[in-house]
Amino acid sequence: MRFPKIIFLAFLLVACASIHVNYDYDKTINFENYKTYQYFADMQTGFSELDTNRLLDAIDSKMQTLGYSVSETPDFYIDIKSQTYQDVQGSSVGVGLGGGGGHVGGGVSIGIPVGQSHTNCKMTIDFVDHAKKQLFWQALSDFSFNPTQTPDQKEETFKRLIEKVLSQYPPEL
């Protein structure tokens, strides 16, 4: 019974390890002044409408647990931009042919790619002060995203992503 638990924990760690986040924020801001938020109306997330809804649901859920609420007259706005890309395939197998003799040599080598390329996503989440029209917090994330996942798998991916992204919000000053 202990062995399956260890495998599950190892899988969980590997699954979460693929999310990388960097943060930046204005150190002069009093984050306690922000309690309500809204999304920019013309936000272009880079995801399908269904995936955008999954992402926004994950953000709303996490923001609610942090004590924030959606409002028609918000303290700040959230803007999200993303871009998908294929990571570079780094593994290959070399096949070579060479020969030489009498101080003469030559050779041919061919690299054959091994494995599959993966789709990754770079996402920027900006928090913009409504009154000042000024960016005060930003998260840049890079994560593995498979557009062919099932809806439940995508929902779980976005939940894990947002949990990691908002784990440092508000920053401890």
| Selected residue with higher pLDDT from 4 and 73 | 73
Tell whether the model's pLDDT for residue 7 goes beyond 50: no
- pLDDT, average across residues 61-86: 95
Tell whether the model's pLDDT for residue 89 goes beyond 80: no
Tell whether the model's pLDDT for residue 4 goes beyond 80: no
Q: 94 - beta bridge partners? A: 111
Most confident of 1-15, 111-125, 147-161: 147-161
pLDDT of residue 114: 56
Give the H or E element holding residue 149.
Answer: none
How confident is residue 9, by pLDDT bands cut at 50, 70 and 90?
very low
Instruction: Specify the fold of 18-27+34-86+113-168.
Output: Double Stranded RNA Binding Domain (3.30.160)
Q: Which long-range contacts (CB under 8 A, 24 or more apart) does 103-110 make?
A: none
pLDDT of residue 17: 45
Q: Any residues with CB less than 8 A from the CB of 22 and at least 6 apart, and which? A: 139, 140, 141
DSSP 20-82: EEEEEE-TT--GGG--EEEE-TT---SS-HHHHHHHHHHHHHHHHHTT-EE-SS-SEEEEEEE
**pLDDT tens by residue, 18-54:** 899 999 999 999 999 999 999 999 999 999 999 999 9
Tell whether the model's pLDDT for residue 104 goes beyond 90: no
* CB-facing half-sphere around the CA of 169: CA atoms within 13 A: 29
Tell whether the model's pLDDT for residue 11 goes beyond 50: no
Give the H or E element holding residue 166.
Answer: none
Helix (H, G, I), strand (E, B) or coil at 18: coil
pLDDT of residue 112: 59
Classify the C-alpha dihedral 151-157-161-164 as positive or negative.
Answer: positive
For 91, phi then psi, to 5°, come to: -90, 135
pTM recorded for the entire structure: 0.74
Domain boundaries, the chain: 18-27+34-86+113-168
